[in-house]
Amino acid sequence: MPATQFICPNGDKVNVEDCLKKCKQGKRCMFLPTLRAIAKSLDRKIRQPSVTELIAGVRETYLKKMTEYAVDPFSVLYSLQGQAIHSIHEKNAEGILSEVRLEDGITSGRLDLYGNLLDEGDGILGDLKVTNSYKLMKALGIYKVDVETGEVYKTGLKKGQPKTKKEFRYDGIKEIFDWAIQLNYYRRLLEKEGYPVRRMVIQAICRDSNLKTATERGITEKSYLIEINKISDHWLKLYFSKKAEMLREAMETKELPPICTPRERWNDRKCLDYCAARENCPYARRLMSEKENISEPVSSSESQAG
């Protein structure tokens, strides 16, 4: 089920429908059309679990589908911007396959762009991402190293020690697992329909490219093209089939799935601040209680998580 409540700036929760009818606070926090667009973006009615839903932790997806939860409208604004970017591209995709939903017996996916995207002929599968400089830095394999300058400290606690400066390196591990399996499954869906895919490319737009923090992370452009390599179809089928089956069983039995993996929960950062349904998850509630130094009983299986 979709999110049923908005979280007001003062922390109060209000039913989405009631908020759209009239602000209970007496003063709206943003334009009514913006709130309507946010509400619409949260109300997803897709029969099959989508590729992006299966990439997330099974527990997270289960809680979003089966429980009522509240969202802070301000936390959805970046997602809304991403949807606007997709809409703009769809309106300018003459001769290009755009915003088409495909499905198989496992899952479904709405691909962004397919066709002659880079003046290299057909067969290019493209995906649009609006992200931040930190994620781009990780996706591009950018990191910093200390390099000696040839000088030494002449005074202070470091006297005699060599001076160093930070330099960027661009050969690090590219942390793009979620993006790679998403685009590869879209490739699989396209090829199943008879559309050959020669290349897979992500166009990543940096939403904080004009800030100093972006430059400090080695992000100097507003947009990057990131090549995605092919992943085994056999592995993709096993991975998505397993997660789809886990989700189906959980929804049929109404039993809470296992805790999301450390990667899926961003080593608990997602549980604490970013998972919309975290208040309905015993593991996330435990983490939030520990953070606030509030004791809350948890089951023995939950206490062994992580």
SS (H, E, C) 109-156: EEEEEEECCCCCCCCEEEEEEEECHHHHHHHCCCEEEEEEEEEECCCC
Checking if the pLDDT of 305 tops 50, the result is no
Q: What residue has token string 């209000």?
A: 14
Checking if the pLDDT of 160 tops 70, the result is yes
pLDDT band at residue 304 under the 50/70/90 scheme: very low
Predicted pLDDT of residue 293: 78
Checking if the pLDDT of 1 tops 80, the result is no
What value does the mean pLDDT take over residues 144-150?
94
Where exactly are the structural domains of the chain? 77-252, 259-306
Angle made by CA atoms 261, 266, 268, in degrees to the nearest 5 = 85
- Beta carbons of 198 and 248 less than 8 angstroms apart: no
Checking if the pLDDT of 159 tops 80, the result is yes
Predicted pLDDT of residue 306: 40
Residue type, 288: M
Tens of pLDDT, residues 93-129: 999 999 999 999 999 999 999 999 999 889 999 999 9
Checking if the pLDDT of 303 tops 50, the result is no
Question: Pick the residue with more confidence: 62 or 294?
Answer: 62
**0.85 exceeded by the pTM?**
yes
Q: Is 233 exposed, middle or buried (0-12, 13-18, 19+ CB in 10 A)?
A: middle
- Torsion of Cα atoms, 234 then 239 then 245 then 246, to 10°: 160
What value does the mean pLDDT take over residues 19-34?
93
Tens of pLDDT, residues 164-178: 999 999 999 999 999
Checking if the pLDDT of 46 tops 80, the result is no
- Beta carbons of 268 and 302 less than 8 angstroms apart: no
